[in-house]
Amino acid sequence: MSACSTGTTTATAAAAPAPTTTTTTAAPTTTTTAAPTTTTLASPFPTTVDAANGTVEIQEAPNAIVSLSPTATEMLFAIGAGDQVVAVDDQSNYPDTAPVTDLTGFSPNVEAIVAYDPDLVVITFDPGDLVASLDSLGIPVLLEPAAASIDDVYDQIGQLGTATGHQEEALDLVEQMGSDIDQILLDATAATSDGENLTYYFELDPTYYSVTSSTFIGQLVGMLGLENIADPADTDGFGYPQLSAEYILDADPDLIFLADTKCCGQSPETVAERPGWDSLTAVTEGNVFALDDDVASRWGPRIVDFLSTIADAVRQVTHP
């Protein structure tokens, strides 16, 4: 409430007397540059954010943020809110300066979170009563689930910007990401004019879970004109179907992307050793690409790096 009162009072006081005072001042340049800046800085809080758990009210700029989401951690640091983050979960390994703890986002412990005295908690999913428990303690919570689209990515960055007082930085980041993606696609179009209709298989783990074009990963790869072999297999529209080895062999993709290199030790060599896989076009043509699991699976600012990596891979393909 204190922030609300301060912001309102400052804006009102600056609005009425300023014009009269300015006309009697010998140096108008000095007067006009000082007043608007003060008013703008006082206005962001209190604020509300429409997150997946509903409308969240945030009274003051948070100074003790706990992030239980590796993607949210990357977003927070990218918009300049890193100094406000006091703890992150054990999977938040980027950037290197993130204050990693033994907190977990998979089975979060309310007492362990509260020990950091947070004034904002960001999570990816609620296992049951986490949001309710923190709400009962008066701690704002933002639920930012896995993005289903690139627009979701931009929306979440904007929500975190509003919640932390970094709206302008969030807008700048989204604009820069969009510009970078446009440039990657422009470069890719010129380099892959003979690569249309290439098919691909995107591997999440060695049991052949994949993604379809309806996911944010599939949307990004689809921007490069590639055809996803998993799409016909997703009969229930879940977006993450489990394929079979037989299905993949029959589809014979031109490219294979491995997002299970760090978690599961997969590589172009291990793929070639699978029964029957040595005859796949992607294997014989050398078009099996190892990705960084984290970059490939997190829907944060590094989706630009992910798209750039995929575009580089496509450029390496020698199409018959």
Question: Which residue type occupies 61?
Answer: A
Picking from 7-16, 56-65, 162-171, 250-259, which range would have the lowest pLDDT averaged per residue? 7-16
In this prediction, residue 318 carries a pLDDT of 65
Helix (H, G, I), strand (E, B) or coil at 48: strand
What is residue 61's predicted lDDT score, i.e. its pLDDT?
95
The pLDDT value recorded for residue 8 is 32
Q: Give me the numbers of helices (H) and strands (E) for the chain, helices first please.
A: 15, 10
Is the pLDDT at 191 greater than 90, yes or no? no
Q: How far apart are CA 120 and CA 274, in angstroms?
A: 47
Q: Supply the pLDDT for residue 317.
A: 86
The confidence score (pLDDT) of residue 188 equals: 87
Q: Which are the contacts of 112, defined by CB distance < 8 A and separation ≥ 6? A: 103
Among 140, 127, 143, 179, which Cα is nearest to 71's? 143
Q: How confident is the model at residue 252 (pLDDT cuts 50, 70, 90)?
A: very high
**Phi/psi class of residue 318: alpha, beta or left (left: φ > 0; alpha: ψ in -120 to 50)?**
beta
- Strands, E assignment, 128-251: 141-143, 199-203, 227-228
The model's pLDDT over 147-190, given as tens digits with 9 standing for 90+, comes to 999 999 999 999 999 999 999 999 999 999 999 999 999 998 76
Assign 284 a pLDDT band (cuts: 50, 70, 90).
very high
104 has pLDDT over 50 = yes
Q: Are 199 and 227 in contact (CB under 8 A)?
A: yes
The residues pairing with 48 across neighbouring beta strands, listed in sequence order, are: 57
DSSP 282-315: HHHTT-EEE--HHHHH--STTHHHHHHHHHHHHH
Average pLDDT over residues 207-236: 95
Q: Classify 123 as helix, strand or coil.
A: strand
pLDDT of 134 higher than 50: yes
Sign of CA dihedral 305, 308, 312, 314: positive
Is-contact 164 288, C-beta < 8 A?
no
Beta strand 255-258 pairing with 199-203: parallel
Query: Which neighbouring-strand residues pair with 143?
Result: 123
As given in the structure block, the two tokens for residue 289 are 């690409």
CA distances in angstroms from 214 to 71, 116, 220, 229, listed in the order given: 20, 38, 10, 13
DSSP class of residue 87 equals E
